[in-house]
């Protein structure tokens, strides 16, 4: 009788590993997986599926020879199956939330790029903004593409390992693909436009940069002369005027920075 029980326990010793996993599982485990390689999700879900099958195949009970002892596994089996199923649902919810959050964030960033590209025209300020945005897009392109591929892989995990893809998932997937294609197209169009206008843009940018520098020098001269250097002037009035001059200076300096950046890009 004792030998039969020991043999049964030896054959099902693998349940100990599952039990330890179930005890250690919690919200912090899922949080630690955020942004992890896709293979980690696949491996975890595959393990859960294998364990679920093995647990469901455990005999409900062991009756020793001579019916001297009855060893019931029913409650342990039900508890483990329930916890494994619950973890599976947790992972699905987590992956769906990851898809939603990452997709919405990437869509917002791509639309921001696209709107600037679509708004390009012969206005030099629009050209300067577009040049800077195009440079950012080129520098970030590999990272944006990696994020796009990661989201697509998360969608594949839901499709292939949970056999579930809701209307919301489908709509978000389509929306992201549409925005990505629009971003690539408008980026290409903006690049071609800037290249075609290059010889006209450079002299104009030089003129605007020179004018901005003159304006900055004028603001500095104004702040260091006249009533601002007279201690007899009313303090509050002088302070308000200086604050106004400072805002003008900052705005002009910011505009100059954009112009200079656009000019540098045109010379590459």
Rounded to an integer, the average pLDDT of 224-230 is 72
Six-digit token string for 264: 């540098």
> What is the rounded CA–CA span in Å between residue 143 and residue 245?
41
Residue 180: its pLDDT value, please?
A: 97
Report the C-alpha gap between 54 and 21 in whole angstroms. Answer: 15
CA distances for 182 relative to 94, 146, 151, 186, angstroms: 29, 17, 18, 6
Q: Of 148, 105, 114, give the one whose Cα is nearest residue 134.
A: 114
Q: Rounding to the nearest 10 degrees, give the CA dihedral for residues 5, 10, 12, 14.
A: 150
Quickly tell me which residue has 């839901």 as its tokens.
Answer: 158
CATH class assigned to 98-196: mainly alpha
- pLDDT above 90 (res 201): no
Residue-wise pLDDT for 53-103, tens only, equals: 888 777 665 555 555 555 556 677 788 888 999 999 999 999 999 999 999
Residue 6's pLDDT band (boundaries 50, 70, 90)? low
Among 95, 72, 91, residue whose Cα is nearest residue 83: 91
pLDDT tens-digit map of 144-175: 999 999 999 999 998 888 876 677 888 888 99
Q: Where are the domains of the chain?
A: 2-94, 98-196, 198-266
Q: What mean pLDDT value characterizes the chain?
A: 82
Find the mean pLDDT for residues 217-225. Answer: 81
Q: What is the pLDDT of residues 128-145, one digit of tens each?
A: 788 889 989 999 999 999
User: Do residues 22 and 55 touch, judged by C-beta distance below 8 A?
Assistant: no
């Amino acid at each position: 009788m004792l030998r039969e029980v020991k043999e049964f326990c030896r054959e099902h010793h693998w349940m100990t590993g599952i039990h330890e996993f179930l005890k250690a599982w919690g919200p912090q485990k899922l949080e630690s997986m955020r942004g992890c390689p896709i293979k980690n999700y696949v491996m975890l879900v595959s393990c859960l599926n294998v364990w679920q099958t093995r647990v469901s195949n455990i005999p409900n009970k062991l009756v020793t020879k001579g019916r001297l002892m009855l060893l019931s596994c029913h409650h342990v089996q039900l508890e483990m199956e329930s916890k494994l199923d619950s973890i599976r649902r947790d992972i699905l919810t987590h992956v769906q939330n990851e898809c939603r959050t990452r997709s919405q964030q990437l869509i917002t960033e791509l639309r921001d790029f696209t709107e600037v590209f679509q708004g390009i025209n012969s206005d030099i300020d629009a050209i300067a903004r577009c040049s800077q945005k195009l440079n950012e897009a080129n520098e970030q392109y590999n990272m944006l593409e990696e994020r796009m591929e990661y989201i697509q892989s998360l969608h594949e995990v839901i499709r292939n390992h949970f056999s579930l893809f809701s209307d919301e998932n489908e709509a978000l997937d389509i929306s992201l693909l549409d925005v990505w294609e629009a971003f690539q197209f408008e980026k290409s169009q903006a690049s071609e436009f800037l290249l075609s206008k290059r010889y006209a843009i450079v002299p104009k940018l030089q003129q605007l940069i020179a004018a901005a520098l003159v304006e900055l020098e004028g603001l500095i001269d104004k702040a260091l002369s006249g009533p601002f250097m007279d201690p007899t002037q009313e303090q509050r009035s002088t302070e308000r005027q200086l604050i106004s001059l400072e805002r003008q200076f900052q705005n002009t300096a910011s505009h100059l920075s954009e112009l200079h950046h656009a000019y540098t890009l045109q010379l590459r």
